[in-house]
Amino acid sequence: MAEVAGDVSRVGFIVLRSIRRPIMVLLWVYSIAIVGMTLIPGIEINGAPQYMSIFHAFYFMTYTATTTGFGEIPVEFSDAQRIWAIVCLYVSVIAWFYAVGAIISLFQNHYFQQALAEKRFTRSVARMPGDFFILCGFGDAGSLLARGLSDAGISAAIIEIEPSRIQALLLRDYRAPMPGLCADASVPKHLLEAGLRKKECQAIVAMTNDEEVNLRISALARLLNPEVRIITVSKVDIYEETLETLGRDMHIVDPFKSFAKDLGYAIHMPTIYTLNQWMVGAAGATLDRTLHPPRGTWIISGYGRMGHEVHKSLVSLGISTAVIDTHTLDEHEKQTTYIVGSTTAKTLLQAGIKDAVGILAATDDDGHNLGILLNARALNPNLFTIVRQNKHHNEAAFAAANADIIMQPSLVTARRVLYALVAPLLKPFFGYLMDEHVKGNQSSYDIIDRLRMTIGRQQPELLTVFVNREKASALVSVLGNNEQVLLGDLVRYPGNYEKSLSTEPLAIQSGDETIIMPGADHPIRIDDQILFCGTESAHRLLDGTLNNEYILYYARTGKFKPRGYFMQWVVKQFPELLNRKKSIVK
């Protein structure tokens, strides 16, 4: 970080260099004025002319500079002194106008303002508590991701090139520190200012609106810190191929591929899709209602990147499609029913809207997508409808459209990145469920029943517990003494030994091994990662168990651990008290 500190410290040199000449002008003006006042003879007293001392001359020039004026000191001035004072006053006013103008010009200078912003940003990053992430890009997806990180109590250093977005960042009421810098994130020094080389930096997320910029950020991050985790948003195959060559801990998020896979799961594995949507907090998602997109002919309106990915997913499931788009079809895709033109009632009828089971409005224009939805419903009210929402501020209109699924790329992106950061074990968890589904096992139904019984109808919260000194001090202290702690001990309710918290451990990673749905008798080890799904209140109590030795002792033994010298003496005198299972919390 030495190069960053050196660069930011240039602010002081910029200030000194810019005001050097105005300061020198003021010094010369006041020096000459003071010397002149001491050399010019004043009125005569007892036949001898009076001269001002350097101190009195300096005092006179000082209070006149403030436009205060306390009179002529130490005695009345002679006419010669008054003439010199008049000259000095006018010249000093001109000097002050010049100096103040130079200072104002300095503060209006774009490069000076940028240097100040970088210095404030670097200081804010240095003051962030604990681990943090670097977020490059604060558009719709970046804003949603920052909100999710804040709700999880995780800080992020944000770099955004658009000044209006940084101004919007300053007005947000985040729970965790979110310092922002208006700058180009593909410039190495800005990444260093954001703390890329700090050990607390857990990952960098490149999610600007420019694919090439995201690629440059990822490459620079790999060079500047080979150990950092990189998550990049990309929607273009050629960039994804390049990104994949950047080595380990490189994760690519493509919202269109992600949605196409999710739609395939909704058709082929509806319970797993329902569980996924409920866990990530999708609007209206509940364990009591499973979405069942129908099999049959689907119409895809708009054959851009999203249309291609959804078409590919549907075809892989053996579902027929009809595509409507203004562009001609590639030769290798001639087997698809393809209609060239805008999506109107005429083209919808040509695509077989009467017999279709679903429609996807996937253009990059929100107004067109809503219009397609209305036309399609007028021709076939029984359609399963999926619509793409491109702009987050159109949320009210899309909510009123009452589509079965609303695909918002920025929201899909933010969720994917958020849970890759805060719940990395979620991916192997769902991978396990899909493998079990292929084998014919109904694990997803059993898990849904357990979660419904444990959490009920409350909104779930995912929590990753890192068994280390910073996140679980009491637990690490016990494990460091070679004592055993079981997973079931952690989820015991602090106020009732026989009761469990409203949370379920979904997965635990111990070394290179990942265990899905571990049992209560699973022993905990230092450096384990545990993924919990439960209520917010349960996780607050869980944090107390992890970091309070008395609560942890009670959760492990069901016995009261004495605090203070007096209680320790009482227990020694009456050991039967320690053998009684007793609640800590009344």
Q: What DSSP letter does each residue of 209-272 carry, written as one string?
A: S-HHHHHHHHHHHHHH-TTSEEEEE---HHHHHHHGGG-TTEEEE-HHHHHHHHHHHHHH-HHH
Q: What DSSP letter does each residue of 61-106 carry, written as one string?
A: HHHHHTT----S-SSPPPHHHHHHHHHHHHHHHHHHHHHHHHHHHH
Average pLDDT over residues 357-370: 93
Average pLDDT over residues 362-390: 93
Per-residue pLDDT at 583: 45
Give the residue from 586, 481, 486, 460 showing the smallest Cα distance to 545.
486
pLDDT tens-place string over residues 395-421? 899 989 889 999 999 999 999 999 989
Average pLDDT over residues 372-395: 92
Distance CA 205, CA 387 (A): 27
Cβ distance 342 to 282 under 8 Å? Answer: no
Instruction: Please give the C-alpha separations between residue 329 and each of 335, 452, 466, in angstroms, as whole numbers.
Output: 10, 47, 50
Average pLDDT over residues 273-278: 89
Lowest mean pLDDT among 73-87, 187-201, 466-480, 517-531: 73-87
pLDDT tens-place string over residues 290-301? 888 999 999 999
Lowest mean pLDDT among 114-118, 216-220, 346-350: 114-118
Per-residue pLDDT at 20: 83
pLDDT of 199 over the 70 cut = yes
Q: Which residues pair with 513 in a beta bridge?
A: 510
Tokens found for residue 138: 């604060």
For residue 239, what pLDDT band results from cuts at 50, 70 and 90? low
For residue 250, what pLDDT band results from cuts at 50, 70 and 90? confident
Cβ distance 549 to 477 under 8 Å? Answer: yes
Cβ distance 362 to 304 under 8 Å? Answer: yes
Cβ distance 307 to 388 under 8 Å? Answer: no
For residue 584, what pLDDT band results from cuts at 50, 70 and 90? very low
pLDDT of 508 over the 90 cut = yes
Per-residue pLDDT at 70: 74
How many other CB atoms are there within 10 angstroms of residue 95's CB atom? Answer: 19
pLDDT tens-place string over residues 307-361? 999 999 999 989 999 999 888 876 555 556 888 888 899 999 999 999 999 999 9
Distance CA 155, CA 165 (A): 18
pLDDT of 513 over the 70 cut = yes
Torsion of CA 112, 114, 115, 120, to 10 degrees: 130
Per-residue pLDDT at 407: 92
Give the residue from 387, 394, 363, 362 showing the smallest Cα distance to 373.
387
pLDDT tens-place string over residues 527-540? 999 999 999 999 99
What is the pairing mode between strands 337-340 and 250-253?
unpaired
Distance CA 413, CA 417 (A): 6
